[in-house]
C-alpha cells in the first residue's frame, strides 16, 4: 500500500535519524522526518544528474550570487517530485496536517529582495530545463533580519534559521579551500607572487535544486568560512580562553550575516571580504572541476559559463586572471581574453548609490595583487580602445560596474526599458565602445512555486481547461483565451480567487487578530521599502480616500483592504518613517467606525518568500507604482499578474512588457514616463505646484503634518512632509492626481464582476511569457551557449 510505505519511511527516519519515538514526537520532529523521507526520493536523481553532466562533458552554467532568497524547500521538493498525494495521504495516516507540517520549516532568507529571489527562481528553472548548473553563494549563519514592530516602528532581530536541523544541505567535508587576504605582492623569478597575510578556509555545503517532475537536479554550493586552524589548545591551557577561540570567531565573521542593504553600498571592508571569499572559492572550485575532467585551460570558455549576479562578484575578473596567469602561467592578455570568454554580468539597478565602488586603498590593502591586475586590465582595455573616456578607477575608487563590463563578453539588463536606460546612462560610453555587448534578458519567475504550488485552486482550474503542460511550458496559458469567453470558466475563476481570499482572511484573523471582508478589494503592495518604490504615494492616496469617505460616509464606496509588507534597510531612516506612518494610519483608520467597513489598512510584519506565497494568490490589485525609470524590472509584478491580480502601475521596468502582453485595457496605467520624470524633476517647485493643483493631496499632507495619525506626537512627520513638499525627488506629489484617478478606475472595474473577472483572467492567460524558463532559455541562447542534458 503506497501511503503505508511512505508513512513508514517517515516514521523510520523519525526513529532512526532523530532517535525519537512517534508518541513523543513534536511537529518539528515530524517535519524533519518527512523532509528526510522526501530527500531520499531526490538524492539518486541528483547524483545521476551530476554523473550525466560529467559523462557528457557538458558546458556548465555557474551562477555567482551573494544572495539566494530560497524560502522553504520541503513543499518545492514535494511538488517537483509529484509527491503531493502520497505525502498528503501519509501525513493524514499519521494524524498530521500537511499545512502545519509545511509551515514549520523556516525560510532560507539568504537574500534581500528581487536580486536574491531571481537567483532562486533561476536555479529552479535551470533544473527544470535540465541544464547542468551550479549556484555559488555564501552560507550565512544569519539571513535577512526578522522584522517586528514596536509602536509601529520597525525593529530588527537576528534571523537564526540554522539553529535547527537544516535537512536540505550536505556538508562536503572534502571540499575545503584555502583563501588569503592582505599581505603583499613580491617578484620571484620575474613572476608576481602574492604572499597573503591572513588565511581562511572556505567549507562547501551542497543543497540539491530539484527540477519539475524530478527529471534533473542541480547543486547550490554555499561556502561557510572556517579558521585554518581550529581551537588553540596551547592558549587555552595558558587560560587565555578568549584568544583560544579568537581565530575561529574571526574567520566565521565572514559568513556570519547577510548585509541587509539592497540599494546602498556602504563600502564596508567585511562586505568586500565576503564578496572575495565566495567568488575566489567558487572560481577555484570551477577550475579544479575543469582540470579534474581533463580540460585544457584555453578551452575553459567552452565548458564554463560564469554569470555574475550584479557587481557583488565582479572581483571574479581579476581573480580568474590571477588564477590563469599567476598560478597557471597563461600569458596575461590570453588570461584576460580567456576570463572574458567565461564571464558575463547582469546589472539589476541604475540607482547611483547601489553601484559599487571600492576605495583603491582598501582594495590594495585587502587584495594587493588584484589591484595590480585591475590596473593591467584597465591598461589593456585602454590600449584596445584608443581615445576611450572611461576608466576602471577614478577619484581613488575602483568602479565595479565598469570592471564587470570590461571583463564580460556579455552584459544584460533585466527588462527592455532598463536595458535601454543602461545604454543611455550608466554604460553609455562603454556601449558606444562595445555596441554588441549589452543584451536584454527580461526577468521571469518560476511557475512551479508562484502558481502551481502557491495557488492550487487556480492551477486545478487551468489544468482542467488546458491540461498540465503549462507547468513547464507557461506559454500554453494563452490557450486559455477561448475559456475567457466562457461564463462558467470565469465563474470558477472568481470562485477560486474568493476562496483564496477567505483563506487569507482566516489567517489574518488567527495570526494577527485582524478581521477583513473577503468580498472587499484586496489591494496589495509587498516589496522592500524604498522611496523609489513609493509606498508613501500609496499611503497618501489611502489617507485621501479615508478623508473622502469621512466626508461622505454613505457614498457608493467600494470596500477596500490595503495590505502592505516589506522590510527597510536598518540604516534607511526615511524608509523606516514610511513604515511608521503606515502603521499609524492603520491604527486610526481601522478604529474609525465611520469608515472601517469601507477601508482597512494593515502592515504585515516580517515579509518573506512564504508570506508572499500566502498573499499573492489572494490579491485583487498589484501595486507597481515606482517612479518611472527607477525599478529595473520588478518580479512581484509578474507573480501578481499570473495569479490574476491586475496591475496599477507606471511605465517602469517590466510593467511596460506586462502591459504590452495583457493589453492596455487590462492594466491600470498612470503617471509620467521615464523621460517625463526627467523634465518634471527639472521644474522648480514641481511638488508645490502639484499640491496647489490637488486639494486631496494638500489635505492628506496637512493631516499628516498636523499629527492626525500621531496625536501623542503631533510633529512626528514634519520632516517627512517637508521632504515631500520640497525636494520630492521621486515625484510623489506630481504623480498623485493620476494615481488617484487610476484608483477610482479600479473601483469602477471591481464593482462590475462582468468587467473585473475577464480582466483578471486575461492577466493570467497572457503572462506566460514571464516564466523564468523563458528567461533562462534567453541566457542560454544569447549569453551562455549552454544546452540541456538528457538525464538518461
Q: Which helix (DSSP H) or strand (DSSP E) does residue 602 occupy?
A: strand 599-604
For the record, the C-alpha cell of 525 comes out as 503592495
Q: Strand pairing of 397-399 and 357-359?
A: antiparallel
Report the distance separating Cα 550 and Cα 594, nearest Å.
7
Among residues 668, 657, 671, which one has the least CA distance to residue 760?
668
**Residue 50 or 349 having the CB closest to ligand 26W:** 349
For the record, the C-alpha cell of 122 comes out as 533561476
Q: Whole-number minimum distance, CB 386 to ligand 26W, in Å? A: 33
**Residue 11 or 419 having the CB closest to ligand 26W:** 419
DSSP 3-state of 189: coil
Report the distance separating Cα 43 and Cα 210, nearest Å.
9
* Residue tagged 607572487 (cell numbers): 193
Report the distance separating Cα 608 and Cα 613, nearest Å.
9
Q: Whole-number minimum distance, CB 410 to ligand 26W, in Å? A: 16
**Residue 623 or 631 having the CB closest to ligand 26W:** 631
Residue nearest to ligand 26W (CB): 114
* Residue tagged 480582466 (cell numbers): 759
Distance from first CA to last CA of the chain, Å, rounded?
Answer: 29
The count of other CB atoms within 10 Å of the CB of residue 425 is 12
**Residue 113 or 646 having the CB closest to ligand 26W:** 113
DSSP 3-state of 109: strand
- What are the catalytic residues? 348, 527-528, 533, 635, 639
Report how far apart, in Å, the C-alpha atoms of 136 and of each of 65, 179, 281 are.
6, 16, 9
Q: Whole-number minimum distance, CB 346 to ligand 26W, in Å? A: 7
Q: Whole-number minimum distance, CB 479 to ligand 26W, in Å? A: 28
- In this structure, are residues 772 and 779 in contact, taking their beta carbons and an 8 Å threshold? no
Among residues 31, 16, 142, 117, which one has the least CA distance to residue 77?
31
**Residue 355 or 787 having the CB closest to ligand 26W:** 355
Q: Whole-number minimum distance, CB 225 to ligand 26W, in Å? A: 20
**Residue 35 or 635 having the CB closest to ligand 26W:** 635
Q: Whole-number minimum distance, CB 133 to ligand 26W, in Å? A: 18
Report the distance separating Cα 605 and Cα 525, nearest Å.
13
Report the distance separating Cα 332 and Cα 678, nearest Å.
44
**Residue 114 or 629 having the CB closest to ligand 26W:** 114
Q: Which helix (DSSP H) or strand (DSSP E) does residue 365 occupy?
A: helix 360-366
Beta bridge partners of 191: 188
**Residue 309 or 459 having the CB closest to ligand 26W:** 309
Q: Give 228's DSSP letter.
A: S
Q: Whole-number minimum distance, CB 674 to ligand 26W, in Å? A: 14
SS (H, E, C) 317-348: HHHHHHHHHHCCCCCHHHHHHHHHHHEEEECC
Report the distance separating Cα 596 and Cα 520, nearest Å.
12
For the record, the C-alpha cell of 439 comes out as 543584451
**Residue 450 or 493 having the CB closest to ligand 26W:** 450
- In this structure, are residues 643 and 668 in contact, taking their beta carbons and an 8 Å threshold? no
Report how far apart, in Å, the C-alpha atoms of 659 and of each of 301, 365, 474, 784 are.
38, 49, 18, 29
Q: Whole-number minimum distance, CB 136 to ligand 26W, in Å? A: 17
Report the distance separating Cα 167 and Cα 208, nearest Å.
11
Q: Whole-number minimum distance, CB 169 to ligand 26W, in Å? A: 24
**Residue 375 or 397 having the CB closest to ligand 26W:** 397
Q: Whole-number minimum distance, CB 277 to ligand 26W, in Å? A: 16
Q: Give 771's DSSP letter.
A: B
Q: Whole-number minimum distance, CB 694 to ligand 26W, in Å? A: 28
Among residues 66, 152, 63, 150, which one has the least CA distance to residue 112?
66
**Residue 10 or 357 having the CB closest to ligand 26W:** 357
Q: Reading across the β-sheet that carries 133-138, which strands appear in turn?
A: 170-181, 198-210, 217-226, 133-138, 60-64, 304-309, 343-346, 410-413, 438-440
Give the distance, in angstroms, between the CA of residue 32 and the centroid of all CA atoms in the same chain.
26
Write 88-91 long-range contacts (CB < 8 A, 24+). 89/2, 89/3, 89/6, 89/7, 90/3, 90/6, 90/7, 90/10, 90/34, 91/7, 91/30, 91/34
Give contact residues for ligand 26W (rule: CB under 6 A). Answer: 112-115, 118, 261-263, 265, 310, 348-349, 354, 356, 414, 443, 631-635, 653
Q: How many CA atoms lie within 13 A of 529 on its CB side?
A: 29
Q: Whole-number minimum distance, CB 185 to ligand 26W, in Å? A: 27
**Residue 525 or 635 having the CB closest to ligand 26W:** 635
Amino acid at each position: 500500500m503506497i501511503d503505508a510505505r511512505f508513512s513508514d519511511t517517515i516514521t523510520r527516519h523519525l526513529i532512526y535519524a532523530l532517535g525519537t519515538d512517534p508518541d513523543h514526537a513534536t511537529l518539528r520532529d515530524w517535519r524533519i522526518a518527512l523532509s528526510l523521507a522526501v530527500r531520499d526520493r531526490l538524492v539518486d536523481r541528483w547524483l545521476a544528474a551530476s554523473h550525466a553532466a560529467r559523462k557528457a562533458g557538458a558546458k556548465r552554467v555557474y551562477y555567482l550570487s551573494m544572495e539566494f532568497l530560497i524560502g522553504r524547500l520541503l513543499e518545492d521538493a514535494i511538488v517537483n517530485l509529484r509527491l503531493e498525494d502520497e505525502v498528503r495521504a501519509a501525513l493524514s495516516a499519521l494524524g498530521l496536517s500537511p499545512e502545519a507540517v509545511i509551515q514549520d520549516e523556516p525560510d532560507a532568507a539568504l537574500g534581500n529582495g528581487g536580486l536574491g529571489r531571481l537567483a532562486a527562481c533561476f536555479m529552479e528553472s535551470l533544473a527544470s530545463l535540465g541544464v547542468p548548473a551550479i549556484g555559488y553563494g555564501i552560507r550565512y549563519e544569519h539571513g535577512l533580519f526578522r522584522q517586528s514592530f514596536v509602536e509601529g516602528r520597525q525593529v530588527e532581530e537576528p534571523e537564526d534559521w540554522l539553529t535547527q536541523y537544516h535537512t536540505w544541505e550536505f556538508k562536503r567535508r572534502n571540499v575545503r579551500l584555502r583563501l588569503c587576504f592582505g599581505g603583499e605582492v613580491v617578484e620571484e623569478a620575474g613572476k608576481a607572487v602574492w604572499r597573503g597575510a591572513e588565511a581562511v578556509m572556505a567549507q562547501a555545503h551542497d543543497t540539491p535544486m530539484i527540477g519539475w517532475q524530478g527529471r534533473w537536479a542541480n547543486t547550490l554550493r554555499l561556502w561557510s568560512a572556517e579558521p585554518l586552524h581550529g581551537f588553540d589548545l596551547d592558549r587555552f591551557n595558558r587560560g587565555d580562553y578568549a584568544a583560544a577561540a579568537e581565530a575561529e570567531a574571526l574567520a566565521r565573521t565572514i559568513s556570519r550575516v547577510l548585509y541587509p542593504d539592497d540599494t546602498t553600498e556602504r563600502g564596508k571592508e567585511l562586505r568586500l571580504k565576503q564578496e572575495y571569499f565566495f567568488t575566489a572559492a567558487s572560481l577555484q572550485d570551477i577550475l579544479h572541476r575543469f582540470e579534474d575532467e581533463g580540460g585544457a585551460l584555453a578551452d575553459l570558455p567552452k565548458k564554463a559559463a560564469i554569470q555574475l549576479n550584479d557587481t557583488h562578484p565582479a572581483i571574479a575578473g581579476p581573480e580568474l586572471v590571477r588564477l590563469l596567469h599567476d598560478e597557471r602561467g597563461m600569458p596575461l592578455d590570453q588570461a584576460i581574453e580567456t576570463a572574458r570568454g567565461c564571464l558575463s554580468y547582469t546589472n539589476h539597478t541604475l540607482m547611483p548609490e547601489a553601484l559599487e565602488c571600492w576605495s583603491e586603498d582598501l582594495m590594495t590593502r585587502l587584495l594587493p595583487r588584484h589591484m595590480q591586475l585591475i590596473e593591467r586590465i584597465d591598461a589593456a582595455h585602454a590600449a584596445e580602445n584608443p581615445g576611450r573616456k572611461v576608466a576602471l578607477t577614478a577619484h581613488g575608487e575602483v568602479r565595479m560596474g565598469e570592471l564587470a563590463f570590461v571583463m564580460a563578453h556579455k552584459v544584460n539588463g533585466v527588462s527592455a526599458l532598463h536595458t535601454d536606460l543602461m545604454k543611455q546612462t550608466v554604460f553609455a560610453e562603454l556601449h558606444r565602445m562595445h555596441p554588441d555587448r549589452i543584451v536584454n534578458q527580461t526577468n521571469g519567475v518560476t511557475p512551479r512555486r508562484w502558481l502551481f504550488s502557491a495557488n492550487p485552486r487556480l492551477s486545478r482550474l487551468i489544468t482542467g481547461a488546458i491540461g498540465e503542460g503549462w507547468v513547464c511550458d507557461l506559454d500554453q496559458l494563452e490557450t486559455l483565451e477561448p475559456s475567457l469567453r466562457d461564463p462558467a470558466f470565469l465563474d470558477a475563476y472568481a470562485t477560486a480567487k474568493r476562496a483564496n481570499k477567505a483563506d487569507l482572511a482566516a489567517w489574518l484573523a488567527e495570526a494577527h487578530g485582524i478581521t477583513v471582508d473577503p468580498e472587499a478589494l484586496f489591494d496589495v503592495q509587498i516589496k522592500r521599502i524604498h522611496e523609489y518604490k513609493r509606498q508613501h504615494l500609496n499611503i497618501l492616496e489611502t489617507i485621501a480616500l479615508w478623508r473622502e469617505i469621512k466626508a461622505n460616509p454613505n457614498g457608493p464606496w467600494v470596500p477596500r483592504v490595503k495590505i502592505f509588507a516589506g522590510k527597510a534597510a536598518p540604516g534607511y531612516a526615511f524608509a523606516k518613517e514610511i513604515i511608521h506612518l503606515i502603521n499609524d494610519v492603520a491604527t486610526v483608520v481601522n478604529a474609525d467606525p465611520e469608515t472601517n467597513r469601507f477601508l482597512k489598512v494593515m502592515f504585515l510584519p516580517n515579509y518573506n518568500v512564504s508570506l508572499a506565497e500566502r498573499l499573492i494568490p489572494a490579491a485583487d490589485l498589484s501595486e507597481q507604482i515606482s517612479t518611472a525609470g527607477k525599478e529595473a524590472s520588478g518580479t512581484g509584478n509578474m507573480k501578481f499578474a499570473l495569479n490574476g491580480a491586475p496591475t496599477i502601475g507606471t511605465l517602469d521596468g517590466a510593467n511596460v512588457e506586462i502591459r504590452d502582453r495583457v493589453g492596455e485595457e487590462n492594466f491600470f496605467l498612470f503617471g509620467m514616463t521615464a523621460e517625463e520624470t526627467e523634465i518634471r524633476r527639472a521644474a522648480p517647485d514641481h511638488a508645490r505646484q502639484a499640491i496647489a493643483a490637488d486639494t486631496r493631496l494638500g489635505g492628506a499632507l496637512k493631516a499628516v503634518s498636523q499629527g492626525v495619525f500621531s496625536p501623542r506626537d503631533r510633529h512626528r512627520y514634519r520632516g517627512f512632509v517637508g521632504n515631500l513638499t520640497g525636494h520630492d525627488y521621486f515625484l510623489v506629489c506630481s504623480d498623485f492626481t493620476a494615481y488617484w484617478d487610476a484608483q477610482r478606475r479600479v473601483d469602477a472595474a471591481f464593482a462590475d464582476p462582468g468587467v473585473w473577472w475577464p480582466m483578471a483572467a486575461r492577466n493570467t492567460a497572457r503572462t506566460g511569457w514571464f516564466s523564468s524558463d523563458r528567461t533562462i532559455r534567453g541566457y542560454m541562447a544569447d549569453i551562455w551557449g549552454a544546452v540541456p542534458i538528457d538525464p538518461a
